Structure formats: C-alpha cells, structure tokens
Amino acid sequence: KGLLKPGLNVVLEGPKKAVNDVNGLKQCLAEFKRDLEWVERLDVTLGPVPEISGPQSTPQNKDQKAVDPEDDFQREMSFYRQAQAAVLAVLPRLHQLKVPTKRPTDYFAEMAKSDQQMQKIRQKLQAKQAAMEKSEKAKQLRALRKYGKKVQTEVLQKRQREKAHMMNAIKKYQKGFSDKLDFLDGDQKPVARGSKEGAKGQQMKKGPNAKRRYKNQKFGFGGKKKGSKWNTRESYDDVSSFRAKKAHGKGLKRPGKKGSNKRPGKRTREKMKSRAR
C-alpha cells in the first residue's frame, strides 16, 4: 500500500522569491507623489562629473568602469564628483529663481557645528600638519646625514690614497730610483724635512708662515727631532744660523741703564782712593 509514512517524502522548499511588485510600486508612487515645484524640493539627479583622466581613444560610453565599493578613495571621490555635478547644474537655476546661495559676511547665525567644535577640528588639522612637517624634516636630516657620511668617507679615503701615493714617491726619490721631483708641487725636499711636511705642502701651498715653519721644525712634530741634527757636510756647510755680531761679541746693546752701572770694581776703587790721597 502506498500510504504516506513519515520520512518517506521530504519537504523541499522552493527557492525564495523576493517580492517585487512592480505594478504595485508604480501605483503607490503615483498616489504618493506630490507635485511640488522644483524650488520646494531642490533635487537633482545626475551622475558624477567625469574625471579628467589621460587621453582616451575610445569615446566615453555609458558604462564607465564601475566604482569598486571596496576602494574607499575611489568611492568617496565618486560621491564628491556627484555632488559637484549637482552643484554645478543647480547654481545657475537657483540664481535665476533668486534663491540666495552665498551667506553674506555680516550674517551671523547659528551653525550646525559649534565654534568650539570647529576650534577642535582646526587644532587637530594643525597638529597633523606640524607632525607631518616634523617627520619630513627628520627624514631629510637622516638622508642628509647619510649623504654627508658618504661624502666624508670618500674624502678620507681620497686623502689616504694621496698620502700613500706621496709616500711612495718620496721613498722612490730617497732610494734614488727617480730623481724627478714632479710629485711635489713646488715644495722643497730636504731629507730632514718630515714626510708630513711634504704632503702638507702639496695640499696647502701657503701653509704656515716662515716663523711657524721654523718653530715647527725646531719644536714640533716629534718625528722631526730625530733627524734634525746630523753632522753631515750639509749641516757643516749650513751657516744660516751664524750671527756675525753675536759671534764677535758686538751688538745687542741693552737699552742704556744709568751710569750707576759703570761703577768700577772694589780693587779699582781702592787704587783710586789711594791715588787720590
């Protein structure tokens, strides 16, 4: 017997159909609609202002790329442009109908947001801007420091290379492999002189003045002391430190003291005394 038993037939629900009573909607709209003047309603239905993108070869067709609702920036920009289109379309009409759109500067009235609120907003914007500028400056400084460091290392390395080159050249000359002094830029090349002096002379032409050089030679830069006094033919022949007047005992007249210094000695005075008697 084909009697119905529980579990024999399973109840299947059909796919849910969403109610869409188009006729009902249209009728409702017709009843509900109020024929107000446009000035009362101030509504406008327009798409967004088309954005000025690069040159488009295809003409702008109806279905422009749909705005991706997930892309926040694009979405908000499309709302902004829709509002712009509406404003641009409506303003001339409003001016024609003599509806004011600009608030005169001496018209004081209550605003939707209080002044306190606007102050808060302004402060927040300023703080944001200041923070951004600060971070920009910090970034620039960091970049500058990096660059400066790079430049500094380069200069130091260059100096090292030059010094090494100079030393090589000097050694060559010392050992007699080459007798050309081209590597020096117009600097004298005494053996006594320290290598540092030579290198320095190259870099700074003027360098320290004669007095300083003399003192440097005599007192400064430890390395010079070692080789400063040699009994060689050259040092023997070197009469640059010979002062004739000093050698002959003349010269150097002290600013004359009074004749009281010319007092003769004891013995002379006694002789004089005895003679005078």
Partner 1 sequence: MAATKRKRRGGLAVPAKRPRKSGKDARPPAKPRDKAEEAEEEDRNRIPGPVCKGKWKNKERILIFSSRGINFRTRHLMQDLRMLMPHSKADTKMDRKDKLFVINEVCEMKNCNKCIYFEAKKKQDLYMWLSNSPHGPSAKFLVQNIHTLAELKMTGNCLKGSRPLLSFDPAFDELPHYALLKELLIQIFSTPRYHPKSQPFVDHVFTFTVLDNRIWFRNFQIIEEDAALVEIGPRFVLNLIKIFQGSFGGPTLYENPHYQSPNM
Residues of this chain that interact with partner 1 (CB under 8 A) are 18-22, 24-26, 28-29, 31-34, 36, 39-47, 67, 69, 75, 78-80, 82-88, 90-91, 94, 99-104, 106-115, 117-118, 120-121, 124-125
What is the closest distance, in whole angstroms, from the C-beta atom of residue 144 to partner 1 in the complex?
34
Q: Whose Cβ is closer to partner 1: residue 42's or residue 138's? A: 42
What is the closest distance, in whole angstroms, from the C-beta atom of residue 151 to partner 1 in the complex?
43
Buried b (16+ CB within 10 A) or exposed e, 208-241: eeeeeeeebbeeeeeebeeeeeeeeeeeeeeeee
Dig out the tokens for 17 from the structure: 């159909």
Whose structure tokens read 């088309």? Answer: 50
What is the closest distance, in whole angstroms, from the C-beta atom of residue 6 to partner 1 in the complex?
29
Angle between helices 115-175 and 195-203 (to 10 degrees): 130
Dig out the tokens for 1 from the structure: 């017997």
DSSP string computed for 112-153: SS-HHHHHHHHHHHHHHHHHHHHHHHHHHHHHHHHHHHHHHH
What is the closest distance, in whole angstroms, from the C-beta atom of residue 8 to partner 1 in the complex?
31
Phi, psi angles (nearest 5°) of residue 9: -115, 135
Q: Whose Cβ is closer to partner 1: residue 84's or residue 268's? A: 84
CB 246 within 8 A of CB 252: yes
Q: Whose Cβ is closer to partner 1: residue 46's or residue 184's? A: 46
Q: Whose Cβ is closer to partner 1: residue 43's or residue 182's? A: 43
Q: Whose Cβ is closer to partner 1: residue 114's or residue 235's? A: 114
What is the closest distance, in whole angstroms, from the C-beta atom of residue 64 to partner 1 in the complex?
12
